Amino acid sequence: MAKSQSSISKDKLMWMYETLVLIRRFEEQAKREADQGRILGTHSAIGEEATPTGICAHLRDDDYVLGNHRSHHHCIAKGVDINEMMAELLGKATGTNKGKGGTMHIADATKGMLGANGVVGSNIPVATGCALSAKVQGKDSVSVVFFGDGASSQGSLHESMNLAAIWNLPVLFVCENNRYAESTPFEYAVAGQSVANRAAGYGMPGVTVDGQNVIEVYEVAGEAVERARKGDGPTLIEAMTYRYHGHFGADNPMGYRTPEEQKYYEDKDCIIAMEQFLVDNGTATKKQLEEIDNDAKARVEKATQFAIDSAYPDPSELLSDVYIKYP
């Protein structure tokens, strides 16, 4: 693990560890739910826990996070209630979206999570608008949008970076480069082989970071958030990361990458690394960390039971919330 972590408070370090573990256990349960046929397979974030954790550690409820189709970890890191999330996955009325959005659209405006989104690149301009809103209203909220290496080929990213730069907006463009867009490798699809380098074309800082190292992410994010809050504008962060499973439930990634490659990345697992770090520098004992993990498992179990016990939406919900009022 990397340098200068002594400046990070113990509370913050422990919060980050708890969050990493909670995401991991939640996503494992979501996968089990899918394997058991209770829900459709989701776009699993297992392996990618560190990036949103390190970033959301700097954020408040009135800061905005917008995600993409693989967003459960963004939601959890931002503080969305996992009971409501699990209920949403099962399509229950008690879900974050009342069962109407599902895995790809989870949102909780009270926590500043303005939604996962199923269309690649679609949320990037929306996040830019949230930043615009904060600026116009004189608030120091920042806006963070997560997207993948695949989305870096979308026009919406370029339009948004340009807008954010010319208007000096408080937005973090965070590319979770997990090296694959479905089955298409990053080396094939991304001209110039670097998403971070694209920032220079828009006159904004672009940083590459090891997305599996939550401390490094924390530090890079800290600078970017501070810059944005001060009114110094946007940043593009490219976090190198890895998803352990396929693009979505049924996809077998061994169809486009080797077991050796998979093992290489699993050996650099962000949770194992953080455990190592916390134990090595005396912040926590192995036993304490185990307790946290058990607690996470218990919380996920409780969330699952809550979801199972919850009622489905009433059929009248099919037609409600199309508008606020019509006419």
Q: Choose, by CB under 8 A, the member of 153, 168, 194, 283 that binds other proteins.
A: 153
CB of 109 to other proteins, least distance (A): 5
Q: Choose, by CB under 8 A, the member of 61, 140, 162, 279 that binds other proteins.
A: 162
117 and 163 in contact (C-beta within 8 Å)? Answer: no
Say whether residue 97 binds other proteins (CB under 8 A).
yes
Q: What are phi and psi of 92, to 5 degrees?
A: -90, 160
| CA 253/CA 259 separation, integer angstroms | 9
Binding mask 256-295 for other proteins (x = CB under 8 A): xxx-------------------------------------
CB of 179 to other proteins, least distance (A): 12
Which residue carries 């899918």 as its tokens? 34
Say whether residue 245 binds other proteins (CB under 8 A).
no
Say whether residue 59 binds other proteins (CB under 8 A).
no
Say whether residue 98 binds other proteins (CB under 8 A).
yes
Say whether residue 194 binds other proteins (CB under 8 A).
no
Q: Choose, by CB under 8 A, the member of 1, 31, 105, 295 that binds other proteins.
A: 105
Say whether residue 201 binds other proteins (CB under 8 A).
no
Say whether residue 313 binds other proteins (CB under 8 A).
yes
CB of 192 to other proteins, least distance (A): 13
**Token reading at 293:** 């993990």
CB neighbour list of residue 275: distance below 8 Å, 6 or more residues apart: 17, 286, 289
**Token reading at 237:** 């962060």
List for the chain the helix, strand, coil content (%; round to 5): 50, 10, 40
Between the alpha carbon of residue 50 and those of residues 66, 77, 263, 293, the distances in Å are: 17, 9, 18, 16
Say whether residue 122 binds other proteins (CB under 8 A).
yes
Say whether residue 159 binds other proteins (CB under 8 A).
yes
Q: Choose, by CB under 8 A, the member of 2, 166, 200, 308 that binds other proteins.
A: 166
Taking phi over 0 as left and psi of -120 to 50 as alpha, with beta for the rest, 218 belongs to alpha
Q: SS3 of 184, please?
A: strand
CB of 155 to other proteins, least distance (A): 6
Q: Choose, by CB under 8 A, the member of 21, 181, 220, 274 that binds other proteins.
A: 181
Nearer to other proteins, 250 or 280 (CB): 250
Which residue carries 């615009």 as its tokens? 132
Say whether residue 192 binds other proteins (CB under 8 A).
no
Question: DSSP alpha helices (H): ranges in the chain?
Answer: 10-35, 50-56, 72-77, 82-89, 123-136, 155-166, 186-189, 214-230, 259-266, 270-280, 286-309
| CA 296/CA 298 separation, integer angstroms | 5
CB of 26 to other proteins, least distance (A): 18
H helix or E strand, kind and range, residue 180: strand 180-181
Q: Choose, by CB under 8 A, the member of 47, 52, 79, 102 that binds other proteins.
A: 102
Which of the stretches 2-10, 24-32, 118-126, 211-219 binds other proteins when contact is defined by CB under 8 A?
118-126
Say whether residue 51 binds other proteins (CB under 8 A).
no
CB of 124 to other proteins, least distance (A): 7
